[in-house]
Every structure is written in structure tokens, then in C-alpha cells.
Amino acid sequence: MIVQENIVNKLREALSPSHLQVDNISHMHAVPANAETHFDVVVVSDAFEGLRAVQCHQRVYQLLAKELSTGVHALAIHAFTPEKWALNDEVPGPPECLGGE
């Protein structure tokens, strides 16, 4: 769980989220047992205020550049301001695996 912990720590430190959920969904994909390659992230932060959705995602990608270049294959990002989060009824489930063996 080292990669997942690193993701949580980096997002907490940089974004001071009011809500953060990082799920390792690697088991749903064609990867070895105990892999840390696919993650679903829900992050709610004032740091996203005034940003378009793509800019929020870019910010998360920048923060996790090392993880994405060293083994994380997929990252589903659900980024919200606290105001948008209060209006959101639910976060979409993780995407289905379309590849692998």
C-alpha cells in the first residue's frame, strides 16, 4: 500500500482537502495480485475554486507525476470544490477494464 499512501499524502499536503478518498481498484483489472496500478480518487478542495474541470485534473496529474511515471497505469479523478461537492449526489463508479489478459 505504499503507492496509495504516497498519493494520499501528496494530495493532503498540496490541496488540504475537506474530503479525500483514494481507492486502489487494481484488483478490478488484469494486473498481478496486490498491484498498485489503478486508482480512483475523489478530492474536494478550495484549491479548485475558479478552475475548470480539466485544470483540476491537470493539478492532480502534476502532483502525482512521479507515481504516474513509475507504475500507476490509470487514475480516475473526481475533483470538486466544496460548493460543487455539496450539490453532487454521487460519484460515478470506476471504469471497467478494457484491456489486459
**Which pTM was predicted?**
0.85
Write out pLDDT tens, residues 56-82.
999 999 999 999 999 898 899 999 999
> What pLDDT was estimated at residue 26?
81
Of 35, 25, 32, 47, the closest CA to residue 91 belongs to 25
> What pLDDT was estimated at residue 54?
96
Backbone angles phi, psi at 89, to 5 degrees: -80, -40
Which residues pair with residue 76 across a beta bridge?
40
Strand order in the sheet with 38-44: 19-24, 38-44, 74-80
> Which residues does the chain have with pLDDT short of 70?
30, 89-90, 92-101
> Cα(79)–Cα(82) distance, rounded to whole angstroms?
10
The greatest distance separating any two alpha carbons of the chain, rounded to the nearest whole angstrom, comes to 42
> What pLDDT was estimated at residue 94?
62
Percent helix, percent strand, percent coil in the chain, to nearest 5: 40, 20, 40
